[in-house]
């Protein structure tokens, strides 16, 4: 790979991972004082007669505020959040239903915190009851999905760089 295209992890001023850019762009940001090098790669980058150490992780000098746009609650987004896994029995399937943890007729709301993916069997078994009443335990406490696009980057790709790991959430 041409070292100018080499991927560089970009951290916010808070050290929170923001995105990935190409080494060429990272070097420009550093040169303009808009970012600092946090980790260097062992390689170097050549440009005309200049040689730069190849950055691997950079941190922005200024805080980037990202708009907090809440994803719209839909069947697709709930199944996606739950990785197409029934939140009661753990079965991975595309045959899923939306379950209100606290049933709607009992005052349960139609919110990210009260809807989960359930396979048809678990949904039928739970029926109009709460998980406690039905003796069913949720695999995860439901929360709104990440609205950070950083997490759209494939996991395997992020794992491929050793020096990135300490900056990435588990």
C-beta of 79: minimal distance to Zn ion in Å?
13
Instruction: Find the binder of Zn ion among 73, 89, 102, 168 (CB under 5 A).
Output: 89
CA dist., res. 28 & res. 7, Å (int): 14
How many other C-beta atoms can be found within 10 angstroms of the C-beta atom of residue 118? 26
Q: Where are the alpha helices (DSSP H) in the chain?
A: 23-31, 75-81, 120-126, 131-134, 155-159
Does residue 86 belong to the site contacting Zn ion (CB under 5 A)?
yes
Per-residue mark of binding to Zn ion, 32-71 (x: CB under 5 A): ----------------------------------------
Instruction: Find the binder of Zn ion among 27, 122, 136, 158 (CB under 5 A).
Output: 122
User: What distances in angstroms separate CA 146 from CA 34, 82, 129, one per listed residue?
Assistant: 27, 12, 29
- Assigned token pair, 146: 């990440």
Choices 5-13, 41-49, 76-84, 114-122; region in contact with Zn ion by CB under 5 A: 114-122
Binding site for Zn ion (CB under 5 A): 86, 88-89, 119, 122
């Amino acid at each position: 790979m041409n070292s100018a295209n080499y991927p560089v992890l970009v951290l916010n001023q808070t050290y929170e991972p923001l995105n990935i850019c190409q080494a060429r762009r990272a070097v420009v940001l550093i040169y303009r004082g808009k970012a600092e090098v946090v980790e260097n790669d062992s390689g170097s980058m050549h440009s005309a007669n200049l040689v730069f150490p190849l950055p691997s992780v950079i941190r922005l000098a200024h805080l980037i505020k990202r708009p907090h746009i809440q994803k719209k609650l839909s069947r697709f987004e709930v199944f996606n959040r739950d990785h197409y896994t029934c939140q009661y029995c753990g079965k991975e399937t595309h045959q899923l239903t939306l379950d209100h943890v606290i049933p709607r007729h009992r005052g349960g709301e139609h919110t990210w915190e009260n809807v989960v993916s359930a396979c048809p069997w678990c949904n039928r078994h739970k029926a109009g009851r709460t998980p406690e009443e039905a003796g069913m335990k949720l695999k995860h406490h439901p929360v709104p999905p990440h609205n950070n696009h950083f997490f759209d980057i494939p996991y395997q790709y992020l794992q491929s760089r050793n020096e990135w790991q300490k900056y990435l959430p588990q």
